[in-house]
């Protein structure tokens, strides 16, 4: 009986500490998209970057609304300006592909850099690929090696396998001095918030 009372007390305390954003996440997870959107909208309009990101996700995927890449990009941009790494990454992808915004490799690079600097693995992976291929910038295999190496610790499955293959390809073209420089840059890197 004492354990049951403790569990009930913890549930009440957890509910009391729940934020409106948490309520929106619960509604989204339950598939109640109308309630999720109604919860996130005022938060997003008030400047909550996480709520702005979630509205972007909802518009991108057509959750409780029609699919609208332009609206998704607009919400991702607001959230990206608030420093939400996942929004920065998504906006980088949108600019890479021209999805809901004009295709712009410079803006793609900018937003991937912002997210990668915070430790976002997929953004680090994309940034490494951009530096390796020279898409919209000067090709830089040392920076590519750095970002792909950092990305591999957070990637899983096929994405990690591909990043590791790209790393091997880059290593084969780097001189020993260049590889030492890449390792030095990687060792000294710390995420920024």
Assign residue 17 the CATH number of its domain: 1.25.40.10
174 & 102 share domain: no
pLDDT 10s digits, 14-36:
445 679 999 999 999 999 999 99
pLDDT, average across residues 103-107? 94
Looking at residue 174, the DSSP 8-state letter turns out to be: S
31 & 124 share domain: no
68 & 133 share domain: no
104 & 193 share domain: no
Q: Which of 118, 139, 156 is the last residue of a domain?
A: 118
**Residue keyed to tokens 């998209």:** 33
> In sequence order, which ranges of 46-140 are alpha helices (DSSP H)?
49-61, 69-81, 85-97, 105-117, 121-133
Give residue 8's pLDDT.
38
31 & 49 share domain: yes
Residue 4, domain extent: 1-118
192 & 101 share domain: no
pLDDT 10s digits, 41-65:
999 999 999 999 999 999 999 999 9
13 & 40 share domain: yes
Contact 125, 151 (CB under 8 A): yes
**Residue keyed to tokens 């004009």:** 102
**pTM (predicted TM-score):** 0.87
């Amino acid at each position: 009986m004492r354990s049951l009372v403790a569990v009930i007390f913890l549930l009440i305390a957890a509910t009391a500490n729940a934020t409106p954003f948490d309520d929106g996440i619960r509604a989204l997870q339950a598939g109640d998209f109308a309630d999720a959107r109604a919860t996130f909208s005022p938060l997003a309009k008030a400047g909550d970057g996480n709520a702005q990101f979630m509205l972007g996700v909802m518009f991108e995927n057509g959750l409780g609304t029609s699919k609208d890449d332009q609206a998704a990009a607009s919400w991702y941009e607001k959230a990206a300006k608030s420093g939400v790494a996942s929004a920065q990454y998504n906006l980088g992808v949108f600019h890479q592909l021209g999805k809901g915004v004009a295709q712009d490799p410079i803006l793609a690079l900018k937003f991937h850099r912002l997210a990668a600097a915070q430790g976002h693995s997929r953004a680090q992976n994309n940034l490494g690929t951009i530096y390796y291929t020279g898409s919209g910038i000067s090709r830089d295999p040392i920076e590519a090696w750095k970002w792909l190496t950092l990305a591999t610790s957070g990637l899983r499955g096929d994405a990690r396998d591909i990043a590791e293959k790209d790393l091997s390809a880059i290593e084969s073209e780097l001189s020993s001095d260049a590889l030492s420089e890449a390792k030095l840059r990687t060792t000294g890197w710390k995420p920024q918030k």
